[in-house]
Each structure stands twice: as structure tokens, then as C-alpha cells.
Structure 1
Amino acid sequence: MTEAQQQPLPLPSQSQQPTPPPTQKVPDVIRSFRPTKAFKSSKLDSSNYVTSLDFDDQGEYLVSSGDDDTIQIYDIKEGKSTKSVPSKKYGAHLARFTHHSRQVLHASTKVDDSLRLLDLHNEGYIRYFSGHTDKVTCLALSPGNDSFISCSKDDTVALWDLGSRNAQGKLNLSTPYLVAFDPSASVIAIASQSTSSILLYDFRNYDKAPFSTFDLAPYEERYTPSTRGRAWTRLEFSNDGKHVLVGTDYHGHFILDAFEGSVKAFLVGKNGSPGRAAPVSTTGKPLGQGDSRFSPDGRYVIGGSGDHTDVLVWDLQQSPDTNNILQPMCRLPHRSRTAVVEYNPRYNMFATADKETVFWLPEEGSRTEKQG
């Protein structure tokens, strides 16, 4: 299966859940995605928000965390919620599957700043990871092994292994609020908002100086002058390793050349903020993890439209204008705001969230002509 080829997704035969075509490529169906099922918060209180989403490696399960202090598990093939795990004492944010689909790692939002490894089978904790002295702002698991990295408001980046409660190493940096592994698991990128820079480290030699630094200050001056040094919400490599996405809260998103750090495109079309405080909360807004995401083939970015309810899709194979500004190729209609978005790594579906979690599938019979 090539990266551009996504598996069909067998879901129950329901009128609101159309069955995707037997063979799908992302370009064939990207315009036809529609919301098919919505899951409300576990509480009746409509003021609760979903703060993070993550699929397991096989794309069969989705985990969400929310400010109602619960972790929710969804079965993708069955199209239903299967488990709700309360975390009332410590709270939960940035819930992430490990490479084992029955284990979830998450950050705490109350009492302390530890990370916790949850066994979904018995709903008990396998291990705590202590060391941060302020809120964790980002978690990234290595695509190659059981290593993971956490960033914190305490101005440290910690490197861990799931098998040990003690950090394997630590970096002291200014506002290192976002981190990402490249697809080969050999490079880590750390975003430092206050210095407007992306630092690239050799993961095996993280204690050495970064081998490359991308200076985004000139680009911020050009594209996001009113939010310089802040409002970065997402850092992600494309699966083909060619691009880096730097998502922002308000103006749009940067697509960088992963080797040179130059801006290939600035993605516009958002209308304001999604109302989240990703990755750091200073105003009491709900937390988040950014509202933009690469598709698995690396060709598209999907994201929220800020105050509006549409989901935006940008095609990175389209040429930006002379100022490197790229408009959305299409808008997918929705009835609620998109503050968090994740694309399934194996199946042609994605999930969005704000106050509820929504599954998106291609409309039956709505295959578009293949692009490119």
C-alpha cells in the first residue's frame, strides 16, 4: 500500500455512515468528505471541550481527552464509543496511543505535571513519568520504538523510554513548547516560540548542539506580524519527510522545506482563532493541540476555519501566488467549529473536535476525478 493509497473503511451499514469505495486514493475523495457521526462529551454540561485526538498505529481506534477529565476510546470500524476512563484527580490532556493499541500515554492537568501510561484493559496505570515542574505542552512518540519526548512550560524538553519512569535525557531551552519526530525517527524538531525558531537535533546525539536551526522571524514579520513569537499551535513532519507544518492559532499555517527551513507556502483562509490555547494557556481558554494536520500522503493539509464552521483543505501540489500564499482548494461543510483535527493513518477518514468528536468519511458515490 502506497502512502497515497488508503484502505477502505468497513463501518456499519447506516444511512449516516456511507461505505467508502473499495479502492481509495486521497486525491479521489478529499473533496467529498462529510461528517458522518458525532459523539458528545460524557457530561451533559455543554461547556466541556475535547482537547486532543490521536489514532493508534493501525487506525482502528481513536483516543480523545477532554477538560471534563476523561479519556474516551472509539472503535473506528464499529463507529462507536467503547470506553470512557475517568481521570478526575489528575486530569488528562494530550492522550497518545503507544505502539500498543491498549496503552495510552497522557499528560496531567491537575495536582502535578507527571505523564501517565494507562492500560486500557484494566484501566490502571502502568507507570508514571515524573520530572517536569510545570504543565506539559506537547508529547511526541517515536515512530520507530518506545522512545517519546515531552515539552513543558518549565523550559525543558525531556526524552523518555516507556520502559523506565526516569528521563533518559533533558534539554534546557527557551519556550520549547512543540516537538515532532521526522518519519525516520532519527531527527527531532523543537519549536521555540519566543525565539521564532525551529531547532533540529540528531535524536541519537540530542546532547549535542542542533545540526540546523530554522529562523522564522522574517516570515513571521511578513505573514503573522501581530502574533510574532507566539500563537504557534502545531509542529509536524509530513510522512514523506519533505515538509514541516508549523500551525498557528490565527493567521494561517507555515509549510517549510524540511531540509532548508524556507517557507514553501503560507496557508490562508482561516477566519480568526478556534478559541483554544494551544499549546500554552494564559487566558483561561480551553487547551488544544492545534487545528491543522497533514494527510497521510503528505499532499494535503486539513484544518479548521477559525470562527467559521467549514473544514479547510489545502493542496500542496497547487502553486502558491507570488507571495507564497496558498488558498484552500475546497471547504468541507460542517455545523460546528473545528478546534482539533486528526487524519487516520490507515483508513480514509479523519476526526475533528470542539465540544464533540466527529467522524468524517467520503460521501458514497461522490468520488472526484483524480487530481495530478
Structure 2
Amino acid sequence: MLAEETLIPLEPNAFRALTASKKFNETSNKLLDLAYSEDGNGLLVSAEDVILVYDLHDGSKSKPVECKKYGVDRLEYLTSETCVHSDTKTGNVVRLLNITKKSYIKYFHGHTEKIIAIRSNPKSRERFISSSFDGSIRMFDSRTFDYYGFIHTAHPALIAFDPEGLLFATATKSETIRLFDVRSFDLGPFQVFRLQKNDNDEWSNIEFSSCGKFILVSTKGEVIKWVDAFTGVVVHEFKGHKNPNKIDLRATVSSGSGYVMVGSADRNIYVYSTENGSLVCKLPTPYVEPSHVVSFNPKQFLLTSLGRDVILWAPSEEYNNEH
């Protein structure tokens, strides 16, 4: 179904050619989170009490994993056969699931309030970190039972690893970004950025660019911030998309770090250029609700959006034939 990125140039016309090539509406549940496998061929989507499973090599769906006992909220791929997720019942337990066997392997305790995010280390995917409304970040290794690291953030934190897995970022109070070295996180952050704010928008997600030089900050407002990861300077503020109801919008950055995508209340996905901050194009979606989560595949030229349905976006056949 999908072409490797090496065969498709990361240029504006490729993004303008993105079309909704596959649409899945297997559940009426709210779609909450998604995660790609390390090779980019697997996709998991959490939907309250079920995990939807897709094979992106051919764009097919697999049998979903029922999670009715615990529910499923935040999730992250680890190995090709395992993932971790938080639940919707207590919200503060991380559960390690064998996807193929559809059975739980172990549970990770420690948080006392709802989990905000789970992120695996891209260079050591058995290791992951989680953040919670209890004002803590915990480091886990899926091969053991207990957490091996703890950071008290005082405030709920957004989290993200850099592409090399050497450092991770935290964002608190919608204004402060801290950078930690994975090898010496217990010594505290080695860099702290307090961004100049000219709005009251609450931050909803952070993500490193694939080059590691920038941090993408999603918000519940109508602006996305493109932050220099070395200086903390806001290089661009992407504006144009609509979010009057101030829902959590999770933007994404393409491989190559050249383009940012985000959903909008006007039934479009906006594509911005990180080179100059301008709007490249709008991709019309087939449902009324905004695409609250969009995520660019790290290995293939593919965009996944979550709204009412799960939609896989790939360049049109006409574009592929021309290139």
C-alpha cells in the first residue's frame, strides 16, 4: 500500500497529493491515542475499551484486542509483539500487553493519579517513561517489574524523547521546557527554557523533530509552536487552523523535519512549512469532527489521523505514477 520515504520526495506537492486512502470505522468509541511500531509497519489505536490493530504494509486491519476489564487510554508500542498502555478504570497503572497473544505480561505501579503520556526510548524500546497528574515522571524497563527512575515535576508534565534516545524533554505549566540527559537525569535538567507567552493557550503535547533540533509544541488553542531545542527560541508560531472549543489537538512533524500537520475544526488538516512558517495546503477530511490526533509515520510516507474514524493518508496514485 505504502511507498518508502526514499522513493517519495519530501516536497510540498507530495503533501498536497495526500489523500484518504484507507478509512476504518470499527468502533463507535472515542479514539484516544495511537502508536507506530519501530519499523513503521504496525499501528495501534486506543479506543476506550479496545485496541485497534493495523498492518500498514498492506493497509489491512487485524483482529482488535479487547480491554474491557481495564480499558485503554494512553499507549505506546515497545517491541513488534508488545505494547504498554494506561487504563481508563484507575488511570494510574501501566500494563504490558502481548499484542499477538492478547494477554497481559505484567503491571507497573507507582503513579497515584491519571497518566498523561507514555513514551518509549527510540533506541532502547524496552525502556519507557510515563508522566502523571500526580506531578511525577517514572522510568520503567519492561524486562523488570519496578521503576528504576523517578522525577518529581511538581506539576503535570508532557514528555518526549529526542530521536537518539539520549535525552528527554518535559513541559510544565504551558511555559517551561526542561531537558534531561537519560544517563544522569537524577542530577536534574541540564537546560531549562521558559518561553515568552503572548497567549493563554494550554499545551497539549510535545514532540522532537526527526533531526533533533526542534521541539513541536501542540496547544488547545489555535497556534502551534516550533521551538529551537538548543536555545528555547520560538522560531515559528503556526496559525490558521481553527480550534474554537479548545480541544486537545496533537500536531505532528514529518520525517526530515520540513512540515508540520494539525487537525482543525473546519474539517481540514493543515500542513505548514517549518522553513518559513507558511501554510502549504489543507487536506479535507470526510467527517465533521476535527482530527484531534495526527501522526506522521517515521518510516513511510504516511499520515494517520484520528477523528470519528481512523484514516490513513498517502500520496494519490496519480502523484505516485508521476514520480
Regarding TM over 0.5, the answer is yes
Q: RCO higher in 1 or 2 (8 Å CA, sep ≥ 6)? A: 1
Higher strand content, 1 or 2: 2
Match of 1:339 in 2: 292
Match of 1:317 in 2: 275
Matched residues in 2 for 1:165 and 1:94: separation?
Answer: 19
Q: Which of structure 1's runs of 4+ aligned residues deviate more than 3 A?
A: 273-276, 367-370
Across the aligned residues of Structure 1 and Structure 2, the Cα RMSD in angstroms comes to 2.1
1:164 Cα deviation from its structure 2 partner: 1.3
Q: Is the 8 A contact 1:40 1:355 kept in 2?
A: yes
Judging changes above 3 Å, is the alpha-carbon distance between structure 1 residues 79 and 273 closer, same or farther for their aligned structure 2 residues?
farther
Unaligned runs of 5+ in 2: none
Judging changes above 3 Å, is the alpha-carbon distance between structure 1 residues 142 and 127 closer, same or farther for their aligned structure 2 residues?
same
Q: 2:156 aligns with which of 167, 176, 186?
A: 176
Judging changes above 3 Å, is the alpha-carbon distance between structure 1 residues 367 and 267 closer, same or farther for their aligned structure 2 residues?
farther
Matched residues in 1 for 2:230 and 2:91: separation?
Answer: 38
What amino acid sits opposite 1:310 in the alignment? Answer: N
Matched residues in 2 for 1:358 and 1:89: separation?
Answer: 27
Q: Is the 8 A contact 2:268 2:285 kept in 1?
A: yes
Residue 255 (structure 2) pairs with residue 296 (structure 1): yes
Judging changes above 3 Å, is the alpha-carbon distance between structure 1 residues 143 and 41 closer, same or farther for their aligned structure 2 residues?
same
SS in 1 for 2:106: strand
Matched residues in 1 for 2:73 and 2:244: separation?
Answer: 20
Q: Is the 8 A contact 2:91 2:115 kept in 1?
A: no
Q: Is the 8 A contact 1:50 1:354 kept in 2?
A: yes
Match of 2:182 in 1: 203
Show CA shifts across 1:27-80 (max 9, x none).
1511110112211143xxx4x21001111111111100012x110101112222
Match of 1:162 in 2: 142
1:366 Cα deviation from its structure 2 partner: 2.8
Residue 2 (structure 2) pairs with residue 9 (structure 1): yes
What amino acid sits opposite 1:309 in the alignment? Answer: R
Match of 1:3 in 2: none
Q: Is the 8 A contact 1:343 1:350 kept in 2?
A: yes
Within a 5 Å distance, the mapping from 1:122-133 to structure 2 comes to: 122-133=101-112
Unaligned runs of 5+ in 1: 1-7, 11-19, 279-289, 319-325
Show CA shifts across 1:184-209 (max 9, x none).
21111001126x20011111111112
TM-score by length of 1: 0.81
Q: 1:358 aligns with which of 285, 290, 311?
A: 311
Percent identity over the alignment is 29
SS in 2 for 1:205: helix
Judging changes above 3 Å, is the alpha-carbon distance between structure 1 residues 297 and 112 closer, same or farther for their aligned structure 2 residues?
closer
Residue 22 (structure 2) pairs with residue 37 (structure 1): yes
